[in-house]
Structure 1
């Protein structure tokens, strides 16, 4: 009997915005909108976070019915109370992994080896790896079994240096995401600030900003159907 179709959504556990005294976390609409696309396409969705437990959400807008549905879905609500860590889930259970953004990702996604290993194993088994906005921070140090960077030579989109400057956080984040991906050999492309932009390169799907979240989900479903 074949296993259920499943996608894993990854959330940051980092909740402080550098030394600003402000909070951050995973960006709720970037989790909710792909979740809606995935579930509508017949996929089961699980959540994981870097440190496990209850991750902090940012950017919530409960007037958005999709965000409200995400938070009130019984399965999602239960998982959000006690997410597992990456080392506690099995790559072979999933068809794809999505790195959700939020500024917190810039501090913890790049340095979690279990998370990198999980995404590598999903990708090398023929699954898809996706990331949106600051989520591609999880791709910066993601290497394949041959030691090469997953993004090397790949076309990608991510939160741009221009967008980071426009929100006044260039000097707050530990690195500039666009620049870091380019340093790993990625071919970064960008649309105008805060407009939707999604790039698909084989089984790698990336989106530039929150406006890209739904289209990232749709692109993942198309990749998995091909």
Structure 2
């Protein structure tokens, strides 16, 4: 069986817009995902991309919730070099190589995933090839405005999930985010489904796989593994 390739999308944004509070990648949404697939019997390779390429900031709050396994990967030289210091630019990527694209979260993605045409083009190419387009938590920002060649949102009439309005309120970020995932999803005609706040939840609709919050990474990964 050939090696499966997953393109992991990371943010370059390090603060909440005009607010100076720090944000970035929610570490576990990358490390838990990678650790899960590295334990699989199938061989997986990962490439890491960000809107600008280069350095990827870490949300400092995410380090407080990181497991020992997360921190171990966080400190591994290959992960530091390939993901955190030298992420690829969109122009470095050949879409046809990938079996799956995975949009990680962290609040930063709400600023740089939503309207990035280059990354949208990559995701759409993967989607059109009947490969997997996936996200977790705020990573849904990469899908909310993604349109096909007919100018139709790919989430239209699809069941999806992402970080909820209640979760924004409970996290204290409700007034700092540029939009609310549920509101945009409904506006763009998706069926936005949720479970109780901060509970693991993920769902699949066709080749779209989405997870609600940081606790949903493994559920997303399992759904991917079932069909990849």
Determine helix, strand or coil for the equivalent of 1:122.
helix
Q: Does the CA contact (< 8 Å) of 1:161 and 1:176 recur in 2? A: yes
Q: How many residues align?
A: 223
1:138-177, aligned counterparts within 5 Å? 138-177=142-181
Q: Does the CA contact (< 8 Å) of 2:153 and 2:188 recur in 1? A: yes
Q: Answer with 65-74 or 104-113: which moved more.
A: 65-74
Partners in 1 of 2:14 and 2:134 — Cα distance? 22
Q: Where does structure 2 lack aligned partners over 5 or more consecutive residues?
A: none
Residue 9 (str. 1) matches residue 8 (str. 2) = yes
Determine helix, strand or coil for the equivalent of 2:63.
coil
What TM-score does the superposition give when structure 1 sets the normalisation length? Answer: 0.93
What TM-score does the superposition give when structure 2 sets the normalisation length? Answer: 0.93
Q: CA deviation at 1:31?
A: 0.6
CA pair 63-180 structure 1, distance change in 2 beyond 3 A: closer
Q: Does the CA contact (< 8 Å) of 2:27 and 2:66 recur in 1? A: no
Listed one character per residue, the Cα deviations across residues 59-112 of structure 1 (whole Å, up to 9, x for unaligned) are 124861221232233432221211111222111111000000000011110011
Give the structure 2 partner of residue 45 of structure 1. Answer: 46
Partners in 2 of 1:13 and 1:198 — Cα distance? 25
Give the structure 1 partner of residue 204 of structure 2. Answer: 200
Give the structure 2 partner of residue 67 of structure 1. Answer: 70
Listed one character per residue, the Cα deviations across residues 13-50 of structure 1 (whole Å, up to 9, x for unaligned) are 11111333210001000111111122223211111111
Once superposed, what is the RMSD of the aligned Cα atoms?
1.6
Q: Answer with 59-68 or 134-143: which moved more.
A: 59-68
